[in-house]
Chain A
Amino acid sequence: EWSSFIDKFLLWMGVLAATLAVMFFIAFNWDDIGRFAKFALLQALIVAVVLLCVTQRQRRALWQAALAVAAVLVGVLLALFGQTYQTGADPWQLFATWAGLILPWVIVASLGPLWLFWLGLINVALMLYHHASPGSALFFGMHSEFAMWWMLFVVNSVALVIWELASLRWDWLRDRWAPRLVAVAAGGPITFLALTTVVELEANGFWRVVLWLLWAAISFVVYTQWRRDLFMVAGLFLAGSLMALTFVGRVILESFEAVGFLVLALLALGLGVGAANALKKLHQRWSE
């Protein structure tokens, strides 16, 4: 065992040190390298990685990892392009183009983390687009800062639905950690929107709370009856506890008295213990 450990340690640390040495050397000479040489270097690297992918088709993990690396390097190439040719393009265009160009590879790779990465690029592109062009038709014509959160909620919810349905067909989508992350990306924005209504106690924002309740109810039914997932239910309980605490805190702490803190402490206690007990019972029932 020690022999194997020492062998792997010396080999991988040696390779890492050599790789860093090459990177440091290139960084040292970067300003002196001509623009065509820079592009040639990066493009040669992408071609080499894709060749590795094509020649190693029988080793699934290796060619998938190679395709993922190539997908990331495309972004580096686009960044270099933007830096070299100052075309005045907006940052969102880099991420949108990146997502568009790597889509065929993402489909071919059949790799959950790569799909998650692609969805992340879409999210970043949308956030940057909203920053550059607020009030566009893409954001339902809304000028407010809430438009971005609505769009993120819609896009990630659609992605979650597609992911859950696709996982019925393809095995490689059945790992639960990825749709859980997407669910957090969908639930986070809608919970934030509902919380802003609660914090500001504005009557005309009440429909955000109604929509949040609708989303929570649908998610609860889906993840307790159809696709049993305790993490999703725990997330719903957490969001609900946050809403309840925020509402009560908003009302009680207006007068800022000590007893308000005591009430909030007891409420947090009750919500936490109640949620945990419900989750434990559910877990026990599903384990039987």
Chain B
Amino acid sequence: MNASLWERLLDAGLVDGAEPQLEAPRPPWYVSLLLALSGWVAALFLFGFFGFAALTLLQTPMLSLIVGAGIIGAAMAIFRGNGNDFVQHLGLCASLTGQGLLIWGVFSLTEPNFSATWVFVLMLSVGLAVSMPHALHRTFSAFSAGCALAMTLTHFGAPYIHNAIILAAAAWCWLNEYRFPRWIGAMSAIGYGLVLALVALIVIGLYGYDREVARLVGTDFAPWAAPWHGELLMGLTTLSVVAVLMRRAGRSVLEPIGIAALAGAVVFVIVSLEVPGITAGFVVMVLGFASQNRVLVGLGLACLLFFCGNYYYFLAETLLYKAGVLLCVSAVLLLGCWVHRRFVRPAYVLESS
């Protein structure tokens, strides 16, 4: 800022104090990426060195636990120190290694009974998502927490309800993003992690890998949750999100517009029974628009497009049946568009005038 402008602002009483110094221009994203890559490569070589030098670490579970916890503590200190991108990514790699050692220690101590391990992994991921002061780490930990929740619930006999819980948690983060000022960055980082976990788990379910995951996880519990429990919870989460957004827009769900909005949400929930993933994509897109977050809107749109396209490979029904379903959905959506333009939008215009 040039001196005369600052003086004019001072004279007008709009600012006070000394003229602020110009910050150095922030380097472009690819410079940060170069630093991040260097950090990861250096960290991997460093841990290769430690791996060679300290093989006994992996052979002693208690030592693995202690060293893992110590490395995570060191990573937290690095993040709190606010170093450059290189140091931050070194800390990220260190934290991941510490978590690996910690989980390996718990795994070795509790085998062959893994109930405690899955609960521990879930609690560790949630704890790190909340406590680690680094956006990318929070996103990664939230993603791990989502996956850990799926594995924990699968282990305890409820493999169908994790998607709804993750969607509800993600919706809570995005709907309350600005409610706690000190946590604005943390809420969005955790929100992204949960959304990515949700998408990954839906894709895993679509391609049938959830059965492989269930076999990997192992369980001693009889299944107590049915697929419709998960669909019902997804539906309730969707309706809750729509109801909260209606309330924030100053509308009651009992008004005609509120009923229409809920009816539209119910249509998406019903369609999602045929075309898996549609509800999740719709909710993510709506949350993105409510937060004015283009990345989230884009992610929701990409999910919708992907899951719609993937419907082609849903082999339980013929292409003719699927074409019929899509035609009916199209008719309902275009009818909804006509109703909105003919009745709802004019009512908005009348009300605001």
Contact = CB atoms under 8 A, between A and B. Distances in A.
A276 to B, nearest CB: 5
A165 interface: no
Interface in B314-332: 318-320, 322-324, 326-327, 329-331
Interface stretch (B28-36, B107-115, B138-146): B28-36
A230 interface: yes
Lowest 3 A-B CB distances belong to which pairs? A272-B38, A14-B333, A258-B52
Contact of B333 (A10, A262, A275, A284): A10
A24 B308 contact: no
B337 interface: yes
Given A272-B37, A276-B86, 6 more contacts: A6-B340, A24-B319, A27-B312, A273-B86, A275-B38, A283-B31
Interface stretch (B39-47, B152-160, B226-234): B39-47
Nearest to A241: B38
Contacts of A162: none
Given A272-B37, A276-B86, A24 B326 contact: yes
Chain B contact surface mostly: helix
Contacts of B337: 7, 10-11, 14
Contacts of B39: 272
Given A17-B326, A262-B46, A287 B25 contact: yes
Contacts of A279: 27, 31, 34
Contacts of A287: 25
A271 B42 CA distance: 10
Interface in B243-281: 249
A265 B35 contact: no
A10 B45 contact: no
B211 interface: no
Greatest chain B CB density within 10 A among A14, A18, A264 is at A14
Contacts of A237: 34
B337 to A, nearest CB: 4
B3 interface: no
A265 B326 contact: no
Contacts of B341: 7
Interface size bucket, B side? 35 or more
Contacts of A7: 337, 340-341, 345
B167 interface: no
B327 A21 contact: yes
Interface in A216-275: 230-231, 234, 237-238, 241, 245, 257-259, 261-262, 264-266, 268-269, 271-273, 275
Given A258-B49, A275-B38, A279-B27, A14 B318 contact: no
A10 B330 contact: no
Interface in B289-345: 289, 304-305, 308-309, 311-312, 318-320, 322-324, 326-327, 329-331, 333-334, 336-337, 340-341, 344-345
Interface string A19-52: 0111011011000000000000000000000000
A21 B323 contact: yes
Interface of B: 24-25, 27-28, 30-31, 34-35, 37-39, 41-43, 45-46, 48-49, 52-53, 84-86, 249, 285, 289, 304-305, 308-309, 311-312, 318-320, 322-324, 326-327, 329-331, 333-334, 336-337, 340-341, 344-345, 348
Contact of B45 (A28, A238, A264): A264
Contact of B249 (A2, A234, A266): A2
B287 to A, nearest CB: 12
Contact of B330 (A9, A14, A241, A280): A14
A265 B46 contact: yes
A13 interface: yes
